[in-house]
Amino acid sequence: MTRIELVRGDITEQEVDAIVNAANSGLLGGGGVDGAIHRAGGPAILAECRELRRTRYPDGLPTGQAVATTAGDLPARWVIHTVGPVYAKKDDRSALLASAYRESLRVADELGARTVAFPAVSAGVYGWPLDDAARIAVTTVREAGAKVELARFVLFSADILKEFEAV
């Protein structure tokens, strides 16, 4: 069973096997967690992402899916890029958010990763309400049945950490 840990901090500093990136479908960096990972990891991550765009995902990585690259200069071995859904009040997209976590764990299992650090996928600029994002994240990771031994949620602010602790 996967042990879940909650910490406040910077995901780019985590010494784990894999770091999950809340990526956009273009895989070429952006703002928030995505931009921070690309900046801290250096050009090797971007080079692999460009190759993935060219060979496997010319239209972008679909929402709810995940793919791995090197971690470049990060202390982790791999970055698992996943695309969470943009929150839409009138359209229940929670299955896509859960899929982003499940698919990240599936990729981690394929890589042989034992420790994985997650951000709060979709809870930033994608607008997902924190309480619901935390519930979906923790419940999905807890129930996924992955071989990963430790799933660490690395949360940027005290408010986000508080919501995850409540779950």
Q: Give the containing element (helix H, strand E) for 6.
A: strand 3-8
Contact of 117 with 18, CB cutoff 8 Å: yes
What's the mean pLDDT in 143-163?
Answer: 95
34 classed as catalytic: yes
Return the pLDDT at 31.
86
- Residue-wise pLDDT for 48-103, tens only, equals 999 999 999 999 999 999 999 999 999 999 999 999 999 998 889 999 999 999 99
Residue ranges and CATH numbers for the domains of the chain are: 3-166 (3.40.220.10)
C-alpha 7/C-alpha 45 separation (Å) is: 25
Question: What pLDDT, on the 0 to 100 scale, is given for residue 29?
Answer: 87
Check residue 1 and give its pLDDT.
83
- Residue 45: pLDDT band by 50, 70, 90 thresholds? very high
Give pLDDT, residue 157. Answer: 92
Residue with the two structure tokens 């985590």: 14
Question: Which residues, 6+ apart, have CB-to-CB distance to 146 below 8 Å?
Answer: 2, 105, 106, 108, 109
Catalytic residue among 17, 34, 73, 159: 34
Of 108, 80, 84, 82, nearest to 96 by C-alpha is: 84
